[in-house]
Copies of this chain bind each other. A is one copy, B any other.
Amino acid sequence: MDYMEEAIKEARKALKYGEVPVGAVIVKDDKIISRAYNLKERRNDVTAHAEVLAVREASKYINNWRLTGCSMYVTLEPCPMCAAAIVQSRLSKLYIGAPDIDSGACGSVINLVQNNYLNYWMDVKWQYNDDCSELLSEFFRTKRRKQ
């Protein structure tokens, strides 16, 4: 199964609701144990980014906040809040579909996932997928038209 495609499916749901289209899935033993998309505006919750929601759902599922042995696939490079939540959750691997040059915290603006000062270190794989960035372009094009 192409897990990044599953994350993209989640991002499409966010787009449908007028949210910044970001989606994430968490995989353990070749099974998706959580899936989420950005719900910040709908939930009026600044922490309701796809990654935070996916981490919380996965922890609920395995009844443990430690997500060791799990991988996250996310369509956009996580922001500082999400990057730190991901490292603290002890997720083993992070697959990223597109960079975020404005607020990406996995190397684009700052690096919190591989940071010696914080002792934050995890395995990150960039898995570029045009659909991830195209969804974001579509969102911002539509938003500009509405203004």
Q: Which A residues contact B (CB, under 8 angstroms)?
A: 40-41, 44-47, 52, 55-56, 59-60, 63-66, 79-81, 83-85, 88-89, 103, 105, 109-110, 112, 115, 117-120
Contact = CB atoms under 8 A, between A and B. Distances in A.
Contact of A110 (B55, B88, B118): B118
Given A80-B112, A103-B118, A110-B118, A65 B45 contact: yes
B85 A47 contact: yes
Instruction: Please give the count of copies of this chain that the complex contains.
Output: 2
A118 B66 CA distance: 28
A66 B40 CA distance: 11
Secondary structure of the A contact surface, majority rule: loop
A65 B88 contact: no
Determine which residue in A52, A81, A89 has the highest number of CB atoms from chain B within 10 A of its CB, and name it.
A81
B46 A59 contact: yes
Contact of A56 (B47, B55, B64, B118): B47
Closest 9 CB pairs of A and B: A81-B84, A80-B84, A46-B65, A46-B89, A81-B85, A44-B65, A46-B88, A109-B117, A47-B85
